[in-house]
Amino acid sequence: MTTPHRAINPPPRLPTSDWRMSFRSPLLTSIPHHRQARPAIRSLLSTARLLSSSQLHTPKMSVPNVKLNDGTSMPIIGFGTGTAHFGRECSDMVLEALKNGYRYLDTAQQYRNAGSVGEAIKRWGGKREDVYILTKFGADGAKPEDIEPRKVLQDQLKLLGVDYVDLCESPLIRFPARPEELVLTSRGDLVHNPFYTGNLTLAENWKIMEQLKSEGLCKSIGVSNYREEDLLAIKDTWKVPPAVNQIEFNPYNFHADNMLRLLKLCKDHDIKIECYGPLNSLFRSTNGPVDSVVEEIARQKGATPAQVLIRWAADYTGGVVVTTSRDSGRQKEQLEAVSKVTPLSEQQVQAIAEAGKGRFYRHFQHGVWNPAKP
């Protein structure tokens, strides 16, 4: 007579949606299911939770810094909140950039989204000193009293939720502007209209910027879209030279005579160039003479053409690059242009520069550069 097998009810299965089912550690599955194993399991799960929460504000990659003429430093690449994010709520995109490893955020009164940047920083949860914040004053159609540097900076600080910014920039200023100087680009893209600041002269405006720095409201001060003649207008009276000049910079516009003079003047005073629009040859002025050169260098370095162009702008100027994207993968790609892709050789830098001279293209700030000295 055989003894019937005793029925054993299997343990209840966890629902597939239970978060623990996704934690399939080989170590965890190898632990016997008895009470002595429970402390080890709890320890593993606790570690997993800590790692998961810390990922929110732990940088994914190391981004080099560039030293400025006032002794401070800033990351070599920044996440811009103009163009693709202009006038829009963009806290999710800025938060994604921070999670991906960006540590320099570029904003402005003109972009009308500083509140989104502040919200993203708050949600990110990192330390204030671990993120570099740049802002600029001035906005289209604003009254002179609404674009006074001190007032704008104080308003921006409230929106950003911080006590200071790392860098405050003065855009090229003249007011009122001539109508022909207020024309946007044909595609409607806008980084800044340069003619801000009311009745102040360039020199008077710069004096206020120096005062804001001395009061600790900003650690560094710089300019945006300044041409050679504009820097010369403040050079004789400045006590603190601009730390940076943020301008459109790419292989198709750097070689204009007025750009070359500007670059030399900035180099003479150790004013770093902040390059925006570095990918114009890839997305806005396509099928040009630099394409084959960039593609070959990308093949040699195991990089993408976008990474080579970002690397070129940083290497040619010795300065900083500002990019942006709504796509998380592209944000990472751009960061890796300076965190993983090694600097270009001098031969590679010059090859792109020479190819770029075969075309001229400027996408932004025609109202600034059309009346500039040739």
- CATH number reported for the structural domain that contains residue 284 in this entry: 3.20.20.100
Closest Cα partner for 354 from 277, 294, 306, 305?
Answer: 294
Each residue's pLDDT, cut to its tens digit, for the chain (374 residues) gives 444 444 444 444 433 333 333 333 333 333 344 444 444 444 444 434 433 433 444 445 689 999 999 999 999 999 999 877 776 788 999 999 999 999 999 998 888 889 999 999 999 999 999 999 999 887 666 666 667 788 889 999 999 999 999 999 887 643 333 333 333 322 222 223 335 546 778 899 899 999 999 999 999 999 999 999 999 999 999 999 999 999 999 999 999 999 999 999 999 999 999 999 999 999 999 999 999 999 999 999 999 999 999 999 999 999 999 999 999 999 999 999 999 999 999 999 999 999 999 999 999 888 888 888 88
The count of residues in the chain is 374
Domain that holds residue 180: 73-369
List, in sequence order, every beta strand (DSSP E) within the chain: 65-67, 73-75, 77-80, 104-106, 132-136, 165-171, 218-224, 244-248, 272-276, 320-323
In a domain, 171, yes or no: yes
Residues belonging to the active site? 111
In a domain, 27, yes or no: no
CB 293 within 8 A of CB 351: yes
In a domain, 126, yes or no: yes
CB 367 within 8 A of CB 195: yes
In a domain, 29, yes or no: no
In a domain, 271, yes or no: yes
Count of the separate structural domains present in the chain:
1
In a domain, 273, yes or no: yes
In a domain, 23, yes or no: no
CB 249 within 8 A of CB 276: yes
In a domain, 58, yes or no: no
